[in-house]
Amino acid sequence: MSPAAQFRTLPARYYTDPDHFRRELEVFFCNGWVCAGRADVIPNAGDYFVREVAGENIILVRDSASEVRAFYDVCRHRGTRLCTAAEGNFGRAIKCPYHAWTYGLDGRLLGAPHMEVPGFSREDYPLHGVKTALWDGHVFIHMGRDPNPINMGRDPDPLEGHLSDLPRKFAGWRMQELRLYRRIVYGLKANWKLFILNYSECLHCPSVHPALNRLTDYLGADNDPPMRGYIGGAMGFRDGMETMSFDGKKRREFLPGLNAEERRKVCYYAIYPNLLLSLNPDYMMIHTLWPKAVDRTEILCEFYFHPDEMAKPDFQAADAIEFWDSVNRQDWHIVEMSQAGIQSRSYTPGPYSHREALLHAFDQLVVEKTGFSG
């Protein structure tokens, strides 16, 4: 049987069924490692940001010991949300806006007015914590226990197992040193998985991204074998091209840790379930996917540069940002068209080509982890 006949896209319900969507949120986002953002955006004690993950508000905060912690945004008194802004600084403590219960930056309950109740102890009511782990500046959170029934009740596997060999592979980019320059938020009308599929192939590049296709060969991807935690690969520049911008000309120094081979390529990796990591020779772009409904996704696109470059009086970033904003909008348009077509009663799964093996691998992982087949 030919690969085209054997491997097909998923049935429509994987992109249109709200019940299936809720199952995916539970499996991928509530019981797995999720990229919440970057540690460098909360550099000082009390700095925080909030992420909505599968309907839960999660607070990421830098504590007084300079550790990044995560908590559910729920007061232990009567359940009120604690945060009135998406980001900011708590000062020395987190205070509920309702009845002024106050928590330390480590989650301990410090004050509970009018709780002169027999048997009440502040030690019994810390904020509900969420597990955190850092990888080269990226902050990951895990909201649940190990989802494997055999291991039920155990803590989840370490983040290192999810990332596999990526820390070694990308050590030269020294991502922890890079700093945020610009963030763009996109609200889109498509299922979250379609963005991973679109990101993981370039067969559409000649027709959808002519400017990008002038920089790299759409058939030139050097893809890694699919892993449990990610799919991805690298693409080398065409002759005369140095970076991803409209003219391909580098306006910044190479990132300082890269070797000669790493300076000649761009790496594109989808780290499940929500981090799209794009590593250029002179900057890093990341997308984080935040599913809002079965056919709605919010995407945060962020651009990171080396602080030494950003400190230069002639620093430029518009070439990269304008290029990728254009490419992003081309992608978002075609993905929304894909969502609309899949919702048609006439849609049936179509065949994958042999160049879409990464997409099929992701599909199979979704089927396996959600427990729905066919």
Evaluated on CA atoms 138, 144, 147, 152, the torsion sign reads positive
Written as six digits, the tokens of 182 are 């610009």
Please name the residue ranges forming H helices in the chain. 3-6, 13-16, 18-24, 159-163, 166-169, 192-199, 205-208, 210-213, 307-310, 318-342, 357-370
Give backbone dihedrals phi and psi of 311, rounded to 5 degrees, phi first: -80, -15
40: Cα separation from own chain's centroid: 16
Q: Which of 45-49, 126-130, 145-149, 264-268 has the lowest mean pLDDT?
A: 145-149
Total domain count, the chain: 2
Q: Would you give the distance in Å from CA 42 to the centre of its chain?
A: 17
Identify the band that residue 136 occupies on the pLDDT scale cut at 50, 70 and 90: very high
Does residue 125 sit in the same domain as residue 173?
A: no
Whether residue 17 is contained in a domain is answered as no
Question: Is the confidence at residue 32, as pLDDT, over 70?
Answer: yes
Supply the pLDDT for residue 183.
Answer: 98
Predicted confidence band of residue 11 (pLDDT cuts 50, 70, 90): very high
Written as one letter, the residue type at 194 is: L
Share the mean pLDDT of the chain. 94
Is residue 147 very low, low, confident or very high in pLDDT (cuts 50, 70, 90)?
very low
Residue 2 scores a pLDDT above 70: no
Give a yes or no: residue 20 inside a domain: no
Which residue range(s) make up the domain with 47? Answer: 33-143
Do residues 201 and 251 both lie within one domain?
Answer: yes
Domain shared by 190 and 69, yes or no: no
Whether the per-residue pLDDT at 54 is higher than 90: the answer is yes
Whether residue 260 is contained in a domain is answered as yes
SS3 (DSSP) at 201: coil
Q: What is the pLDDT of residue 151?
A: 38
pLDDT digits (tens, 9 = 90+) for 80-96: 999 999 999 999 999 99
225 lies in the same domain as 87: no
Residue 139 sits in the same domain as residue 188? no
* pLDDT at site 3: 45
State the residue for tokens 């019940």. Answer: 19
For residue 47, give every residue at least 6 positions away whose Cβ sits within 8 Å of its Cβ, in sequence order, or none: 41, 61, 62, 88, 89
Grade residue 156 by pLDDT with cuts at 50, 70 and 90: low
Are residues 196 and 308 both part of a single domain?
yes
Closest CA to 46 of 29, 60, 31: 60
Answer whether residue 2 is part of any domain. Answer: no
For residue 185, what pLDDT is reported? 98
Same domain, 320 and 189: yes
Residue of 220, 224, 242 lying closest to 233 (CA atoms): 224
Which token pair is 211? 């400017």
Tell me which of 92, 110, 143 is where a domain ends: 143
Residues 123 and 65 placed together within one structural domain of the fold: yes
> pTM above the 0.75 mark?
yes
Give the type of residue at 105: L
pLDDT tens, 165-219? 999 999 999 999 999 999 999 999 999 999 999 999 999 999 999 999 999 999 9
Are residues 174 and 82 part of one domain? no
Residue 131 lies in a domain: yes
The answer to whether residue 297 sits within a structural domain is: yes
pLDDT of residue 374: 52
Judge if 198 and 335 occupy the same domain: yes
Does residue 65 sit in the same domain as residue 201? Answer: no
Please tell me what DSSP assigns to residue 25.
Answer: I
The predicted pLDDT at position 197 comes to 98
- Please, what's the largest Cα pairwise distance for the chain? 76
Q: Grade residue 155 by pLDDT with cuts at 50, 70 and 90.
A: low
Sequence-distant (6+) residues with CB within 8 A of 255 are 172, 173, 174, 178, 281, 282, 283, 306
φ, ψ (nearest 5 deg) of residue 127: -65, 145
Burial group, residue 325, by CB count within 10 angstroms (0-12, 13-18, 19+): middle
Domain boundary among 74, 108, 143: 143
Contact 289, 299 (CB under 8 A): yes
Using the predicted structure, report yes or no on whether residue 149 has a pLDDT greater than 70.
Answer: no
Q: Look at residue 254 and tell me whether its pLDDT is greater than 90.
A: yes
The answer to whether residue 146 scores a pLDDT higher than 70 is: no
- CATH number of domain containing 307: 3.90.380.10
Residue 260, pLDDT score: 97
**Dihedral sign computed on CA atoms, order 184, 53, 138, 106:** positive
Same domain, 80 and 210: no
Domain stop point among 108, 143, 178:
143
